Amino acid sequence: MVDRQFLLSPKQMPRKWYNIAADIGPTPPPLNPATQQPCGPQDLAAIFPDPIIMQEVSTDKWIDIPEEVLDILAMWRPTPLYRATRLEAALGTPAKIYYKYEGTSPAGSHKPNTAIAQAYYNKISGVKRLATETGAGQWGCALSLATQMFGLECTVYMVKVSYQQKPYRKSLINAWGANIFASPSENTSYGRKVLAEDPDCPGSLGIAISEAIEDTVTSKDTKYALGSVSNHVLLHQTIIGQEAKLQMEMAGAYPDVVIGCVGGGSNFAGIAFPYLEDKMSGKSPNLRAVAVEPKSCASLSTGEYRYDFGDTAQMTPLFMMYTLGCEFVPPSIHAGGLRYHGMAPLVSLAFHKKLIEAMSYPQTAIFPAAVLFARTEGIVPAPESSHAIKCAIDEALAAKETGEPKTILFNLSGHGHFDMGAYDMYFSGKMTDAG
């Protein structure tokens, strides 16, 4: 009988985050939008507390995880790693497929890994309320949970199309005590401006970020929390890949290819960056890391590598990243967490240096892969995670053609229990690649 699951004890949970900025080389700094000069810590002080700013600009390779954060993460971490033997059999592939399952967190995704850390640092800095955006709602749920853990208030601006598609994400956010607005909203000046120009605007992460930042800078005792893109967010997610490396050692295997879906880049960075440390050090020079995007919003595959704003209202610093343009409003696909115009600067730099690859799929291609995974492995995946599943299946089928016994690892970043409306659209034959 083949071992299918590889579990770590809480004592084996990593106690440090890995900072790829120490190894990847000089990173283009963010620019102050007013002066076009590199941002200093003081430029970020209006939206982030000091400990977060220090992590954002740090080049220390290892950063300690506070005990208070570890204590809460231990409620569900370490997360399991599985070998997908039933999927392998269905595909008839000689490849070995492994997946790290982040859907065991209370919020059902990888997002609490950074939400807990951010809530902790804001709490010890005297912040009373956090404002944020969310796409599909997974980040909004995670931050609502985290702020409840630390006694903070929370306001969430959820992209309107996802707010309408995923009503139970709203209910979960409310259950954890946060206030939520469909973005664009009447709660901010920028939201009202967007609605005046287009009352039927479906929203975007760029618009929701603008609203959350406006809320932050115009309110007392409030800071902004970000679910992806920023260096400190990607840093916090590296606990995923560090655990996966220990679990793959338990399995007696090492991946030929590591795969993750990408919107802003956090869950891909979480699984891939600890392995890129091996690639950059020469330990595994042939390792492939594949970032999988929605074809309708493929910043790495089709965007430009240049400085751009992180939000639509152009309130954030300018970041060097692959971007489709901060004004871009993606089609209303069901993978709401991947509907972002730009890519994390560190993921962008890794792609620019050819350390990673990019792949994109239309949503009508990823749902058949999601259903096959559900029918073989039993887990109904989130639409976002299903992009990684589709790529893993394609890699396994390519191995079948060549007879190569490839080892594939992907991050299953969350479950799809709140995405059944999307599955209903697929099963009814009403799904298109535009929405």
- The CA-atom distances, in angstroms, between 47 and each of 26, 161, 215 are 25, 26, 10
- At 10, list the tokens: 């809480």
431 secondary structure, DSSP code:
-
**pLDDT tens-digit profile of 350-402?**
999 999 999 999 999 999 999 999 999 999 999 999 999 999 999 999 999 99
- At 241, list the tokens: 């890949």
Q: What is the pLDDT of residue 435?
A: 60
Q: Of 232, 260, 242, give the one whose Cα is nearest residue 115.
A: 232
With cut-offs at 50, 70 and 90, classify the pLDDT of residue 331. Answer: confident
Architecture in CATH for domain 5-12+66-108+232-427? 3-Layer(aba) Sandwich (3.40)
Residues 157 and 328: beta-carbon distance below 8 Å: no
**How much is the mean pLDDT over the chain?**
95
Burial 74-108 (b: 16+ CB within 10 A, else e): eeebbbbbbbbbebbebbebebbbbbbbbbebbbb
Q: What is the pLDDT of residue 118?
A: 98
Q: Is the pLDDT of residue 336 over 80?
A: no
**pLDDT tens-digit profile of 139-197?**
999 999 999 999 999 999 999 988 998 889 999 999 999 999 999 999 999 999 999 99
With cut-offs at 50, 70 and 90, classify the pLDDT of residue 210. Answer: very high
pTM of the model: 0.95
Instruction: Compare 222 and 27 and report the one with higher pLDDT.
Output: 222
Handedness of CA 241, 244, 249, 255 (dihedral sign): negative
Domain ranges of the chain: 5-12+66-108+232-427
CA–CA separation, 229 and 340 (whole Å): 10
**pLDDT tens-digit profile of 56-105?**
999 999 999 999 999 999 999 999 999 999 999 999 999 999 999 999 99
Pairing of strands 62-64, 257-261: unpaired
Q: Is the pLDDT of residue 339 over 90?
A: no
Q: Is the pLDDT of residue 334 over 80?
A: no
**pLDDT tens-digit profile of 43-65?**
899 899 999 999 999 999 999 99
Q: What is the pLDDT of residue 226?
A: 93
